[in-house]
Structure 1
Amino acid sequence: MKMDVSRDDGGSFVAVRRNSQHLDRTNTCHTDEVVAGSTAWLGRSLSCVCVQRKEGESRPSFDLTPAQEDCLQRLQNRLDIAYDGSVPEHQEALRVLWKAAFPEEELRDLISEQWKEMGWQGKDPSTDFRGGGFISLENLLYFARNFPKSFQDLLRKQEGDRAMWEYPFAVAGVNVTFMLIQMLDLEAVKPRTFVGATFLKFLSENESAFDLLYCITFKLMDHRWLAMHASYMDFNAVMKSTRRQLERELLQDDVTRLEDLPSFSLLTRST
């Protein structure tokens, strides 16, 4: 696989250069070229996603029921778990992710050049989990298990008129996790936005609400990517657009569960 390193405004980034529409897993000469840099790409891509408050504007505060407090605490406990490559459970989760992504190709080692085919920045995916923690790996696994068709479509870039330089699937997935944590203000003791309070209502009714919202968001991001005819330099703009649309959908009066979100219809379960 040919490796090229490119830079934007003095920093490193990662992008996937696509020379054909589909991945050919049976050919040893793969159709993707991965441009690898530091994890700074992940951080910068999210630097402008946060909503800014006007000067003097205070955030609303929402009281929680005991049940909601318990649900939020359990989710926050998940957020606190960093990926640790020495933990057997984490190692196994990584192997399961590879098997879900490329069932026809055996993973040679947990540290391998093969990981670049999934859109990790280097041969050790653990270095990319620092932005999202172990939950970002759990999110990817939930996506692969519950919506395998959409997962594969995004991984292999099988839908739409793709750009020459595409976003890297796996690192983008970590970005989605981090963006949702920001958007929902999940590290706060209790919600401080209407969006956060609305999500907590869904979480109290469905323990997997965060994982499900992740799947919706990832698919929506790709949908916005195609609609905006984006390339890797547009990733931050696509993420901001995705967040705005997601916030609007979450606050619609007729949305009483995550499956009611208009963007949920973008997901496909069957392969």
Structure 2
Amino acid sequence: MKHFLRVLAQFCVFLYCKFLWRTFKFVVRKVTGRCELQRICYNNKPGARRTLKIESSLKFSKSELLQSAVNVHPDLVEKTIDSIMALKKINPDTNPQLGISLQASLLQIVGYRNLVVEVEKLRREPYDCENLEHEEMLLKLWKTLRPESPLSGRISKQWCEIGFQGNDPKTDFRGMGLLGLYNLLYFAEHDKATALQVLHDSLQPKHRTISRGETSNISKIEWEKKKFDKAIGYSFAIVGINITDLAYSLLVSGALKTHLYNVAPEMPSLVHFQQTFCYLMQEFHRFWIEEDPCDIMEFNRVRNRFHKKVLKQLKNPDMALCPHFAASDLHLVNL
């Protein structure tokens, strides 16, 4: 009986989606004189709130033209908008803002898709020690993070000073390929002060400051032990590659659409993704100090909690990484 009711409920949902919803949209258009795309553009401010709704409307449309619009080449976006306006019988002269709004949102949609392809290509490209460009990037990373310490050789224990696992960093890039190196170098070059501070703190960790109100929950013995225990640090470069993996998963899952549609007026680019990485690195560092783990074996637990926290924040369509500050000042704001 339960199985029958479940099937019946699913069938009813199917009927609603297939017929009643389209009937409802037809009635609303007759009453308002506007199609769904017009209502979305006129009733929602620019950014993720508008673009996500336009993307959903196009994908689930019964028109092949509208369905294919989310996959067009960026150079064909303007022509596609003209075709959509003609299909919907909308006069561009009396609705000039509609075409502009649709074009901006469609550029964001196809730009996000292209960004996923670009990031995936970098992730799949392995680090090649025979490639001069790869080697130059790696050495530049060392010089940026350790300007006062010349590298004794390409293969050296010194690499552990910036958080690689062994004498040759190339083995650590296996999971994320060149994408991990690109992100680490971007962080070191474009937000050098923060990168150096995070590196320093990872090597010389400290407990987070406990407020007076929190001390009531800690016994005197625990408090004394906490004071003299050494806080747990982490390997800067390895964590950077791990956070690259986190940023990558947010991108391919679509969770980053909220952020990128809010910060990129048109097409999201690799720079937007790298700025997101800078933010995640800084915020993870703060989160690690807040969590104050007992040992490095707790890394996966802390990372998973941080991941869930970011996902929760990005569910708000008005949330974005603030684009008006340097990477070191990035923070989530409610637009």
TM-score surpassing 0.5? yes
- By how many angstroms is 1:167 displaced? 1.2
SS across alignment from 1:205: coil
Q: Which runs of 5+ in 2 are unaligned?
A: 1-55, 60-69, 75-110, 209-229
Alpha-carbon deviation of 1:266?
Answer: 5.8
* Residue type at the aligned position of 1:125: P
Matching of residues 62-211 of structure 1 within 5 Å: 63-64=70-71, 66-67=73-74, 68=111, 69-157=113-201, 160-161=206-207, 163-185=230-252, 193=254, 195-198=255-258, 201=261, 204-211=267-274
**Are residues 1:220 and 2:283 paired?**
yes
Question: Which one-letter code corresponds to 2:246 in the other structure?
Answer: M
Aligned to 2:302: 238
Distance 2:72 2:290 in 1: 40
CA contact 1:217–1:242 (8 Å) conserved in 2: no
Secondary structure of the corresponding residue to residue 166 of structure 2: coil
Q: Distance in 1 between matches of 2:154 and 2:131?
A: 12
Which AA in structure 1 matches 2:73?
Answer: P
Question: Residue by residue, what CA displacement relative to the aligned partner does 1:149-171 show, whole Å, maximum 9, x if unpaired?
Answer: 11011111167527543211111
Contact 2:183–2:277 (CA under 8 A) maintained in structure 1? yes
Q: Which residue in the other structure is 1:42 paired with?
A: none
Provide, for residues 33-76 of structure 1, a one-character-per-residue CA deviation record: whole Å limited to 9, x for no partner: xxxxxxxxxxxxxxxxxxxxxxxxxxx99645534233332232
SS class of match (2:318):
coil
Matched-pair contact (CA < 8 Å) for 1:221–1:242: yes
Structure 1 residue 252 corresponds to structure 2 residue 319 = no
What letter corresponds to residue 210 of structure 1 in structure 2? F
**Maintained 8 Å contact 1:216/1:264:** yes
The count of residues paired between Structure 1 and Structure 2 equals 200
- What is the alpha-carbon distance in structure 2 between the residues aligned to residue 170 and residue 94 of structure 1? 11
Could you say what secondary structure the match of 1:176 adopts? helix
Question: 1:121/1:64 Cα in 2 relative to 1: closer, same or farther (>3 Å)?
Answer: same
Inter-CA distance 75–241: structure 2 relative to 1 (3 Å threshold): same
Taking structure 1 as reference, are residues 174 and 160 closer, same or farther at Cα in structure 2, changes over 3 Å only?
same
Contact 1:209/1:258 (<8 A) preserved: no
User: 2:250 & 2:117 partners in 1: Cα distance?
Assistant: 17
**Greater gyration radius:** 2
User: Could you say what the CA RMSD is over the residues aligned between the two structures, in angstroms?
Assistant: 2.8
Write the deviation string for residues 170-202 of structure 1: whole angstroms up to 9, x where unpaired.
1111111112222322xxxxxx54x14335535
Deviates further, 198-207 or 82-91? 198-207
C-alpha contact 1:115 1:124 (8 A) present in aligned 2: yes
For 2:291 and 2:324, locate their aligned partners in 1 and report how far apart those are by CA, in whole Å.
24
Q: Which moved more, 1:241-250 or 1:171-180?
A: 241-250
Which moves more between the two structures, 66-75 or 137-146?
66-75
Unmatched tracts of structure 1, length 5 or more: 1-59, 186-191
Instruction: Decide whether the 8 Å contact of 1:258 with 1:264 is kept in 2.
Output: no
Question: Which aligned runs of 4 or more in structure 1 are off by greater than 6 angstroms?
Answer: none
Distance 1:64 1:259, change over 3 A: farther
Displacement, 1:240?
A: 1.0
C-alpha distance in 1 between matches for 2:269 and 2:196 = 25
The structure with the largest helix share of the pair is: 2
- Once the 2 structures are TM-superposed, how far is the Cα of residue 210 of structure 1 from its aligned partner? 1.3
Q: CA 1:259/1:245 → structure 2, altered by over 3 Å: closer, same or farther?
A: farther
Structure 1 CA distance for aligned equivalents of residues 321 and 269 of structure 2: 9
The CA deviation at 1:215 is 0.8
SS of alignment partner, residue 270 of structure 2: coil
| TM superposition score normalised by structure 2 | 0.53
Over 3 Å counting, the alpha-carbon distance change for 1:97 and 1:198 in structure 2 is same
| Contact 2:206–2:232 under 8 Å retained in 1 | no
